[in-house]
Amino acid sequence: MKNTPNYSLYHTHELKKRLAELDPKNDQDEIHEIQKMIDKGGYQFPSTSSKINHNTDHSIKRKAVATKFQSSKFILILCLTMTMLLAWNLYVLIVFGLGLALIPIVFQSVILYCLYNAHVMSKPLIKIWAALMMVSGFFGLISVVLGKLISIDQFLIHIVYLIAGFYAWTKANHTMEIIYAAHDEPN
């Protein structure tokens, strides 16, 4: 394995192409190394926003291309929660004719679409949704406490909103990663 290239500089499609070219009997170490790099997602562009190539006077800028989910369990819970909330809001819209239910219906539909496609906007949308849940839970708790009749049911619902929002916010930070690709742009 002394003469093998530095696979940390290869993109995923290049790694897969090289993996197909290798002999499984003779190149076990190299295959193992390539498989580790494929599992990592291939080459990851450096975290700086731009880098100037002085030879060509071009800058290399990052472009977000996808979201990588590191916890399938969290995404499953998130999708189930979004689907249940979407169904509830559709029920409210159809049965009670409450037009304001269109706002969460559209927002939850967009989030589900982004999660399904691993879109770049998945993480920011989940964080916005989580922040709205926390704010809703907080102000709901204040309204229940300041109200004349304290309803335990409403109190518990707003506690659940707070906890669900906090959980989604922290898990989105830890388990959702935005994948970047490089592209050249003239200065």
Residue scoring higher pLDDT (13 or 154): 154
Cβ(4)–Cβ(31) under 8 Å? Answer: no
pLDDT tens digit sequence for 54-75: 454 445 566 788 899 999 999 9
Q: What confidence category does residue 98 fall into, taking pLDDT thresholds of 50, 70 and 90?
A: very high
Place of tokens 């916890």: 71
Residue at 135: amino acid letter: V
Residue 93, pLDDT > 80, answer: yes
Rounded Cα gap, residues 131 and 125, in angstroms: 10
Mean pLDDT check: name the lowest of 21-35, 73-87, 107-121.
21-35
Q: What confidence category does residue 49 fall into, taking pLDDT thresholds of 50, 70 and 90?
A: very low
pLDDT recorded at residue 186: 47
Question: Region 38-42: what's the mean pLDDT?
Answer: 76
Please, what is the average pLDDT of the chain? 84
Residue scoring higher pLDDT (119 or 147): 119
pLDDT recorded at residue 27: 81
Residue 184, pLDDT > 70, answer: no
Write the DSSP string, 98-155: -GGGHHHHHHHHHHHHHHHHT-TTHHHHHHHHHHHHHHHHHHHHHHHHHSSS--HHHH
pLDDT tens digit sequence for 149-170: 788 999 999 999 999 999 999 9
Place of tokens 């304290």: 150
pLDDT recorded at residue 59: 52
Axis crossing angle, helix 122-146 with helix 102-117, rounded to the nearest 10: 140
